[in-house]
Structures are given as structure tokens and as C-alpha cells.
């Protein structure tokens, strides 16, 4: 998974490309490079390591003259992160350079074919076949060459191309990987993500799969892969630079935790009008929902855990069976879904390969798909039958926080809407729950304010090797996300465990000072979890519990406490996760981890 940018205009291209790549670093950051049209020939600068290294190499682009170019920041899929494997890649004849996000699935066969025709390869990447195919098919007509090459490629790709015969042009090609065109005055751009365009323009065009664009400073011509012109709507981006910047916080992750009340508010408010819930997804109405016999929620990572938490609310309110499945399992599991199964997919980026595949598999089986995604115009959004956006704004930290809580909030909203439309809740309970939904942003803020001591608690985990997160029912689902947050940013092994299951083996691991985080927010099973706290303490565990602030029983058995404000139990998850996010953040901070860009991770995994 990578980030690509392109610029053509009257300014020096290299500094603009490097600035754009910095804003895409979360998409992958093991190597970076730029290719600039310089006086009729292409000059490439590329290096393994972070973009800062490329900036040093080129004095922030000053040493790279030229007003047209493309850039790339890489998350390795084919070939280790080395200088040679870094993009851009050049054709043998030096006439083309290419940057690529995605996977060319038939690259080995293409590579063999090209080698058989006398081409040589420098890198181990799949991308290098693209640039040499361009050379092979080029007969002076760039558009024709692009169409012929695209017809040979199988897999996913967002490609940026420069050609020395077209010195003021950049070409963008999209198939199953995000690509957006930015429109300036006498200059134009492309990028994998809006964040790279926002400092320069807010007028954008979303490319669709199977389209390519020839972009010059004064014109943008978009075609389908048969060469037919395609007309597109220009959209206005309302994310300003500050929104995509850190806003004064030390890390994007902390900024995004703190802005969760606003993000959840932005996600819910426009959909609650008076005493009505209005879902902005045409056709997702009572008549449709009354035909649904079961729900399957599928996603990856934190999005999957949001689904596991949302499942409890949907079952409690709608009394309809809900199952959850990892998208990477779902896509190959010949899933039992049909026209009476609503498949709900969750994805912050809307570009996660396994989730996209799960959508396609569901549709192939005739199941209607509801997507809840954060990125407008993303692939999942476009493929689904119904799309509800989470409107969390750009999420830059690799570890999701507001992406997760807005997904969960949207699942709660959907659960209440569906319960009302299928007659499962009476008016009184509906109005009570609608008020509770409206109050969630405030409850999230209270969860932040009630726990000022988490940075001190985090110090206790500085040298910890493993932590258990235990809970029952919806608390168990929250434990899953709490454990993932701890693992992915502090690199401490953490395991979520059903509290009632410990005695069936795992309790053998509990020894003196073993840290255990016990979630006791679900009032129905709270007493049982309290017994589990006593069980592990009897074996020497050190227990940090999370419960409502006036719960004296839990306070009496735990060693330390995190507090939950009073909140409607069925919607507690979106509040309960906040102290766990902050605890993970402060633990990672005291362990001096790279919080916004944890090792080995990328923000959106657009490959299998
Ligand atoms: C979350 O903290 C992780 N970075 C990861 O698990 C993420 O949730 C997962 O890759 C799914 O991403 P998506 O929501 O963009 O589909």
C-alpha cells in the first residue's frame, strides 16, 4: 500500500511533490522517490527510508529543477524496501517513469514476456513491468499506449506516469486503488488521498476504476479504458490544512482521540432530525429492513471489533440474529449470505483489500451490502448498495480511534432506526434511546475528563511484557479493541479474553504482578466479571478495572480504577473505549514508540 502524487504547472514540482508525500506517509513509508521532467529528460531521485531522507537528499527538492513530476511513498509488497525497489521506476529507454499503488497480479508472466523481448529489470517490483510495457506499446501516441498497457494488467493499481515526449503532461490511471485529481489555476495535481491536495486546492475530481487522465497545466482529459471521454463532477473538499494537521497536539493519535466528541457529533447530528432518524442512503428504509432475516457484519482490524461491539446493540434492539466475520476469512469462506441477509461492511479508508473483496463476494451471492466508511468516494463506498459515511474527517494516525468510534456510533444509530422501523421498540423506549444517542458526544468528553490519571497508570506498564484485557458480552468486544490499541502502538503483547473463559486454561498464565485490565461496564454481567477479578487477584494479578464512577463494589476489589460516566448501557461501547485508547497512547508514549506510524503498519491495507 503506497501513496502517489503528481504535479504539472508553473511552479517547481519537486518541493510540491515532497510536501504531498509527507501528507501521505501514513499510507506507507519504507521508501520514497520523485521523477521530474528536466529540460526534456526524466530525472529520478529515490531512496529507502522515510521521506525526510529524500528531502535531505534533494535539499527539500531545491536540487531538482523542472515543473512537471510524480512522486511515491512506499509500503513494500513485492521486493524489500531498498533504493532499487523504491519508486519511480524507469523504462529501459528512459522515456517513461511510473509510480504505482496496488498489486499487478500477473506481473510475473508479463516480466517473462518482456525479458523474452529483450527488456531487462533492475528491481524485484511488480511495477517495473508497467513502465516497460509502456515502452513496448508506445509508438508516439501516449493515450493509445496507456490503453494498451491497461488492457494487459490484472490486479489493483493507481498509476502515475510521465513521458519525456510529453514534457508538460502527467498521466493518472485508476483500477481498484484510490486516485484523486486536484484542480488548480494554471496547474493541476493528482494524489492517492485528499490530504496531499488540501494545501493547494479544494477542487477535486474522484477518478473511478477503469479510467485514466491526461493532465496538463491547463487541461484535464479523462477517459475510460476504451478511450471514450468521461465527464466528471468537480467536488469541493471541506477539509482545510489545519484539519489535516496535528492541531497543536504532540501526535495525530491524541488529537484524533480528543476530537472524537466532535467526530461522533458530526456523524450523528445530521441524521437525527427532531424525533426522527434520517438515514441518507436511498432505499435503506423500513420496507427494505422488514425483509431482512439476519445481518452479517464483516471488516478488518478495529473495524471488525467495532462490528463485534455493534452486534450487541443491534441484537438487543432489533432482535435479529447478527454474526460477525473477519473479511479476510469471509471472502474465502463461501459465506452463507443471500438476499435476506444484510451484509454490513465497516472501513475507515474504504480501500482495505479484504473488505472490498467481502463486498464483491456478498454481492455475487445476492446479499445487499451496507457500507459504513469514512472516505468519500472510496472503493467500498462505490461498490456497496447503501453507503453511510462516518464523517470523522481525515484520520492520519495509523491506529484508528475516531474512525472506530464513529463506526460504532453509526451502528448504534442504525440499530435504533431499524428497531423503530421493524416495530421492535415502542415510542417511549425509542425516545429515551434517541436522547441517549444525542448525548454520546458529551459522554465521550466526560470519559476523557474523568480519567486524568492515565498517563501515570501507563508508567506501570513501561516494562510490561504482556497484558490481559478481560470482559463479558459487550465488554469482551471492547476488550478486543482495547488490546489491539495497546499492541499496535506500544508493542506490548496484549490479549482480549472472555472473562468467563479464563478458568478453562488461560488462567494458568496468571502469576504474580500479571497486569489484567478488567472491563465492567456491562451492568448485566458486571457481578460475574467482578468474580473473575477476584479469581485472577487470588493468583497475584494486578488489576486495573473500568466501571461506572459510582460502582463501589468494583472499586473495592480492583487495585486501580478507570471511570466511565453514566451512559445508556446499550450504547456504552463508544464511551468505554476512550480510556483504553488513552491508556494505550500514554503507554506507547512512555515507551517512546512511534505512535502515529507504528512499525510494520500502514493506515490502509490495500493489498491481501
Ligand atoms: C486499526 O488501529 C488498525 N490500523 C487496523 O486494524 C485497521 O482498523 C484495519 O486495517 C481496517 O482498516 P479500514 O477501517 O480502513 O478498513
In a domain, 599, yes or no: no
Ligand 1 atom having least distance to the Cα of 485: 2
Q: Are residues 417 and 385 in the same domain?
A: yes
Domains contained in the chain, number: 3
Q: Tell me the three-class secondary structure of 515-558, residue by residue.
A: EEEEECCCCCCHHHHHHHHHHHHCCCCEEEEEEECCCHHHHHHC
Q: Return the number of other C-beta atoms located less than 10 Å from residue 500's C-beta.
A: 17
Asked if residue 307 has pLDDT above 70, the reply is: yes
What pLDDT does residue 155 have? 80
Residues 6+ away with beta carbon under 8 Å from 80 = 124
Task: Provide the CB-side half-sphere exposure for 541 (13 A, CA).
Answer: 28
Whether omega before 255 lies within 30 degrees of 0, making that bond cis, reads no
Residue 97 domain-assigned?
Answer: yes
Reduce the DSSP state of residue 220 to 3 states and report it.
Answer: strand
Domain C-terminal end among 243, 275, 294:
243
Q: Where do we find the cell 529507454?
A: 93
Whether residue 229 is found in the same domain as residue 161: yes
Confirm if 395 and 369 have CB atoms less than 8 A apart.
no
Dihedral over alpha carbons 394, 400, 406, 410 (to 10 degrees): 120
> What is the CA(191)–ligand 1 centre distance, in A?
21
Taking a C-beta distance cutoff of 8 angstroms, is the pair 515, 499 a contact? no
Q: Is residue 464 part of a domain?
A: yes
pLDDT at 41 > cutoff 80: yes
> What pLDDT digit, counting tens, does each position of 361-396 carry?
999 999 999 999 998 778 999 899 999 989 787 788
Whether residue 427 is predicted with pLDDT greater than 80 in this model: the reply is yes
Report which protein residue has its CA nearest ligand 1's atom 5: 301
pLDDT above 70 for 550: yes
Q: Look at residue 350 and tell me if it is in a domain.
A: yes
- In this prediction, residue 443 has a pLDDT band, given cuts at 50, 70 and 90, of very high
Give the active site residues. 2, 603
Same domain, 333 and 455: no
Q: Examine the domain organization and report whether 420 and 510 are in the same domain.
A: no
Residue nearest to atom 4 of ligand 1 (CA): 399
Atom number in ligand 1 closest to CA 407: 14
Average pLDDT (297-307) is: 98
Domain containing 490 — which CATH number?
3.40.50.10490
pTM above 0.75, yes or no: no
Same domain, 404 and 343: yes
Q: How confident is the model at residue 247 (pLDDT cuts 50, 70, 90)?
A: low
**75 pLDDT above the threshold of 80:** no
**Which pLDDT belongs to residue 248?**
57
Does one domain contain both 158 and 195?
Answer: yes
* 58 shares a domain with 174: yes
Distance 171 CA to ligand 1 centre (A): 30
% of the chain beyond a pLDDT of 70: 97
Residue 424 within a domain: yes
pLDDT of 241 > 80? The answer is no
Element (H, E) at 457: helix 454-459
User: Is the model's pLDDT at 18 over the cut of 70?
Assistant: yes
- Is there a domain that residue 74 lies in? yes
Domain containing residue 99: CATH number = 3.60.20.10
Question: End of a domain among 417, 438, 459?
Answer: 438
Whether the pLDDT of residue 447 is over 70: the answer is yes
Mean pLDDT of the chain, nearest integer: 93
pLDDT at 245 over 60: no
Domain presence at residue 600? no
Share of residues in the chain with pLDDT > 90 (%): 81
Residue 162 or residue 263, greater confidence: 162
- Give the burial string for 462-490 (b: 16+ CB within 10 Å, else e): eebeebbbbbbbbbbbbbbbbbbbbbbbb
Q: Determine the Cα angle at 305 with ends 301 and 308, to 5°.
A: 145
66 and 205 inside one domain: yes
Which segment of 25-34, 64-73, 276-285 scores lowest on mean pLDDT?
25-34
Please report the pLDDT score of residue 273 as a whole number.
84
Q: Which residues line ligand 1 (CB under 6 A)?
A: 300-303, 347-349, 352, 355, 398-400, 403, 488, 601, 604-605
In a domain, residue 478? The reply is: yes
User: Is there a single domain that holds both residue 89 and residue 231?
Assistant: yes
Examine the fold and report which residue of 438, 461, 477 is the final residue of a domain before the chain moves on: 438
- Give the pLDDT band (50/70/90) at residue 177: confident
CA dist., res. 65 & res. 544, Å (int)? 58
Per-residue pLDDT averaged across 197-220, rounded? 95
Do residue 358 and residue 458 come from a single domain?
no
pLDDT of residue 1 exceeding 60, the answer is: no
Residue 301 Cα, ligand 1 centroid: separation in angstroms?
A: 5
**How large is the average pLDDT for residues 239-260?**
78
Q: Measuring CA to CA, which residue among 582, 559, 455 is closest to residue 513? A: 559
With the CA atoms of 529, 534, 539 and 540 taken in that order, what torsion angle do they form, in degrees rounded to the nearest 10?
100
Q: Which atom of ligand 1 is nearest to the CA of 300?
A: 11
Place of cell 456491562: 522
Task: Look up residue 602 and give its three cell numbers.
Answer: 500502514
Span from the CA of 300 to the centroid of ligand 1 (angstroms): 6
Do 379 and 294 lie in one domain? The reply is yes
Give the span between the Cα atoms of 539 and 494, in whole angstroms: 19
331 shares its domain with 262: yes
Nearest CA to ligand 1 atom 10: 301
Using 50, 70 and 90 to split pLDDT, how confident is the model at 243? low
Contact 520, 554 (CB under 8 A): yes
Domain containing 468 equals 450-594
Give the range among 202-206, 234-238, 352-356, 602-606 with minimum mean pLDDT.
602-606
Q: Residue 266: which pLDDT band, with cuts at 50, 70 and 90? A: confident
Amino acid at each position: 500500500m503506497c501513496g502517489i502524487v503528481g504535479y504539472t504547472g508553473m511552479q517547481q514540482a519537486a518541493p510540491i511533490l515532497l510536501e504531498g508525500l509527507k501528507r501521505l506517509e501514513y499510507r506507507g513509508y519504507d521508501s520514497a522517490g520523485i521523477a521530474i521532467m528536466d529540460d526534456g529528460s526524466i530525472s529520478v531521485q529515490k531512496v529507502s527510508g522515510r521521506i525526510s531522507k529524500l528531502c535531505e537528499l534533494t535539499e527539500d527538492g531545491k536540487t531538482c529543477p523542472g515543473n512537471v513530476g510524480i512522486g511515491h511513498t512506499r509500503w513494500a509488497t513485492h521486493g524489500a524496501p531498498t533504493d532499487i525497489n523504491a519508486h519511480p521506476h524507469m523504462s529501459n529507454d528512459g522515456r517513461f517513469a511510473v509510480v504505482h499503488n496496488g498489486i499487478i497480479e500477473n506481473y510475473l508472466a508479463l516480466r517473462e514476456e518482456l525479458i523474452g523481448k529483450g527488456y531487462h529489470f533492475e528491481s524485484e517490483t511488480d511495477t517495473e513491468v508497467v513502465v516497460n510495457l509502456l515502452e513496448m506499446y508506445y509508438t508516439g501516441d501516449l493515450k493509445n499506449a496507456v490503453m494498451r498497457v491497461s488492457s494487459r494488467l490484472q490486479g489493483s493499481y493507481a498509476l502515475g506516469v510521465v513521458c519525456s515526449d510529453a514534457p508538460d503532461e502527467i498521466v493518472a490511471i485508476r483500477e481498484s486503488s484510490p486516485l484523486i485529481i486536484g484542480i488548480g489555476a494554471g496547474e493541476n495535481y493528482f494524489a492517492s488521498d485528499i490530504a496531499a491536495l488540501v494545501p493547494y486546492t479544494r477542487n477535486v475530481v474522484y477518478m473511478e476504476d477503469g479510467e485514466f487522465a491526461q493532465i496538463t497545466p491547463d487541461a484535464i482529459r479523462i477517459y475510460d479504458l476504451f478511450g471514450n471521454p468521461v465527464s466528471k463532477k468537480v467536488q469541493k473538499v471541506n477539509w482545510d490544512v489545519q484539519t489535516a494537521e496535528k492541531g497543536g497536539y504532540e501526535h495525530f493519535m491524541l488529537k484524533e482521540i480528543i476530537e472524537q466528541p466532535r467526530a461522533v457529533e458530526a456523524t450523528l447530528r445530521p441524521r437525527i432530525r427532531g424525533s426522527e432518524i434520517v438515514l441518507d442512503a436511498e432505499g435503506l428504509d423500513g420496507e427494505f429492513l422488514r425483509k431482512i432475516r439476519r445481518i452479517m457484519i464483516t471488516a478488518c482490524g478495529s473495524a471488525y471489533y467495532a462490528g463485534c461491539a455493534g452486534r450487541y446493540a443491534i441484537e438487543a434492539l432489533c432482535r435479529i440474529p447478527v454474526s460477525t466475520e473477519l473479511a479476510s476469512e469471509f471472502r474465502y469462506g463461501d459465506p452463507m449470505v443471500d438476499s435476506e441477509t444484510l451484509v454490513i461492511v465497516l472501513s475507515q479508508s474504504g480501500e482495505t483489500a479484504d473488505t472490498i473483496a467481502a463486498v464483491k463476494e456478498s454481492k455475487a451471492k445476492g446479499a445487499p451490502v451496507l457500507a459504513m466508511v469514512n472516505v468519500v468516494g472510496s472503493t467500498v463506498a462505490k461498490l456497496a448498495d447503501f453507503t453511510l459515511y462516518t464523517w470523522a474527517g481525515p484520520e492520519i494516525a495509523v491506529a484508528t480511534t475516531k474512525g472506530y468510534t464513529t463506526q460504532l456510533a453509526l451502528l448504534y444509530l442504525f440499530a435504533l432506526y431499524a428497531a423503530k422501523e421493524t416495530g421492535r421498540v415502542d415510542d417511549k423506549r425509542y425516545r429515551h434511546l434517541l436522547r441517549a444517542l444525542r448525548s454520546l458526544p458529551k459522554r465521550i468528553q466526560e470519559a476523557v475528563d474523568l480519567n486524568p490519571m492515565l498517563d501515570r497508570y501507563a508508567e506501570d506498564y513501561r516494562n510490561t511484557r504482556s497484558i490481559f484485557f478481560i470482559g463479558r458480552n459487550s465488554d469482551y468486544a471492547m476488550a478486543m479493541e482495547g488490546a489491539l490499541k495497546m499492541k499496535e502502538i506500544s508493542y506490548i503483547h496484549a490479549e482480549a479474553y472472555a472473562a468467563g473463559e479464563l478458568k478453562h486454561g488461560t488462567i494458568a498464565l496468571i502469576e504474580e504482578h500479571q497486569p489484567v485490565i478488567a472491563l465492567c461496564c456491562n451492568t448485566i454481567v458486571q457481578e460475574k466479571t467482578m468474580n473473575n477479578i477476584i479469581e485472577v487477584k487470588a493468583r497475584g494479578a494486578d488489576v486495573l478495572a473500568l466501571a461506572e464512577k459510582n460502582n463501589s463494589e468494583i472499586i473495592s476489589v480492583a487495585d486501580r480504577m478507570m471511570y466511565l460516566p453514566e451512559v445508556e448501557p446499550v450504547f456504552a461501547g463508544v464511551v468505554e473505549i476512550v480510556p483504553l485508547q488513552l491508556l494505550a497512547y500514554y503507554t506507547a508514549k512512555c515507551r517512546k514508540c512511534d505512535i502515529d506510524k507504528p512499525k510494520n503498519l500502514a493506515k490502509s491495507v490495500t493489498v491481501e
